[in-house]
Amino acid sequence: MTDAKLSGANIFLANDNYNTLIEIKSLLEEAGYRAIDTFANGNELLFEFKNKKPDLIISDICMPQVDGFQLLREIKSHPDKLVNSTPVILYSAMFNDFETRKLANELGADHFFNFPFETGSFLAAIDKSLHLKLRSDIGSADETSTASDEIKIVILEDDKFSSRFLLHALKELNYKLYAAESIAEFDLIYEENKPQICIIDYNLPDGDGIEVLKKIKNLNNEIKVIMMTAITNERMIDDFIKEGADNFINKPINVRNLIAAIKNAAESIGVSKKDVAAIEENSQKTRYDFSPDFHDIFFSVPTALAVINERLDCLVYNAEFGSIFKSRAKNPRLVDDNESLSIETILSDEENEKLKIILSDMARKKTGIKQNFTFSGPRADGRECVTDIISIKSAERKGVLSDDNIFYISLGCLN
């Protein structure tokens, strides 16, 4: 059951398939949401938007007249802040590839889901979006904010042209902006101004961005860090997640994408303990406790990633993991899209016991060391797969799960 103060939130729901529309509406009603308006396409939704402003939009991508992407563009590019700040969740039963997720993220979608949903993650995303919207509305109505409450952002970028470009592009946010061209300069600005958001380039003349990220999170884990990089690979993404990055942006920089990431970070600053407790309490009532905080990194990368517990249950996983997992399962017909997966399905009894021992040892030591676990499963090409285990320390930093030892894993084939 959702938080009582959110049950009256007005939700606009769009899908051209009537059966799917009713199915999702019923799911929301069962979760406690009562004010739900339904639409057959984006055009109908936009027409109603002129008369009534929703607190959240949930839309399918493939629809006639105005599809989900066109709808998202209209909302996020609108000059009125009351319109462009409306959270939008996109979903699709047809498209779940990396490019679709990437486009949704670049256009400003708050979350993207493949349909049918994993109910727990979907409802957690709705809960988070509405809580952030509620805090944003309260903040907009409060005219008594002082200069000391102003958001401060430091950009660490060694390229002068890129740095100036970013300073100019971000002026519209009306935040205090500072720029540093080296780690040494960044340290001075950081110490003097105590920023709430840091935008860090990966390649720097006197070190690398990962070390700066680690330093920031060790000093104050509440500071939001957005990493920038021209190179995206599995190891780098793994390092970003492990060290607590809140988001990452590919170079060349898409300004709209960066602004969306900054706004998302700014909205989550100053979350009261009461709000956090409410979100966590609601999450614990769902089947999975996974928070959608890792949406931009976890769900959008073209890498097979999952979060598991010591019982080898997959608490949440992205599309790439689900696809590879099914190809490895002993009996793929037993793998149900609507049910949780278990690593036990792709391991032998002996391998299951070995992996559980490794996880138990990692949880006991609480180290951040990554370990590799190689196993052989039933597959046509006869190759072995490797699973990288990331310890609970990394997961705890982001508050992904409340009361369980959990681990990040990536699934891939050895050459």
- Give pLDDT, residue 387: 52
Task: Give 387-409 pLDDT, tens digit per residue.
Answer: 545 434 444 433 333 446 777 77
Close Cβ partners of 218 (under 8 Å, ≥ 6 residues apart): none
First vs last C-alpha separation in the chain: 47
With a cut of 80, say whether residue 292 has pLDDT above it. Answer: no
- Concatenated DSSP letters of 156-184: E-S-HHHHHHHHHHTGGG--EEEEESSHH
pTM score over 0.85: no
Check if the beta carbon of residue 96 is closer than 8 Å to that of residue 114.
yes
- The structural domains of the chain, ordered by start, are 4-141 (3.40.50.2300), 152-267 (3.40.50.2300), 303-413 (3.30.450.20)
Place of tokens 């319109």: 83
- Concatenated DSSP letters of 86-150: S-EEEEESS--SHHHHHHHHHHT-SEEEESSP-HHHHHHHHHHHHHHHHHHHHHHH-TT--GGGS
- Give pLDDT, residue 154: 96
Task: Give 298-332 pLDDT, tens digit per residue.
Answer: 555 556 777 787 888 887 777 677 777 777 766 65
Check if the beta carbon of residue 248 is closer than 8 Å to that of residue 229.
yes
Check if the beta carbon of residue 226 is closer than 8 Å to that of residue 261.
yes
Instruction: Read off the tokens for 279.
Output: 């979100």
- How far is Cα 332 from Cα 368, in angstroms, rounded to an integer? 33
Give the model's confidence band at 6: pLDDT under 50 very low, under 70 low, under 90 confident, else very high.
confident
The strand pair at 176-180 and 197-201 is best described as unpaired
The strand pair at 10-14 and 56-60 is best described as parallel
Task: Give 181-235 pLDDT, tens digit per residue.
Answer: 999 999 999 999 999 999 999 889 888 899 999 999 989 888 999 988 887 666 7
Range scoring the smallest mean pLDDT among 79-88, 167-176, 283-292, 333-342: 283-292
- How far is Cα 302 from Cα 101, in angstroms, rounded to an integer? 10
Quote the Cα angle for 58-60-66, to 5°: 105
Instruction: Read off the tokens for 301.
Output: 């990368």
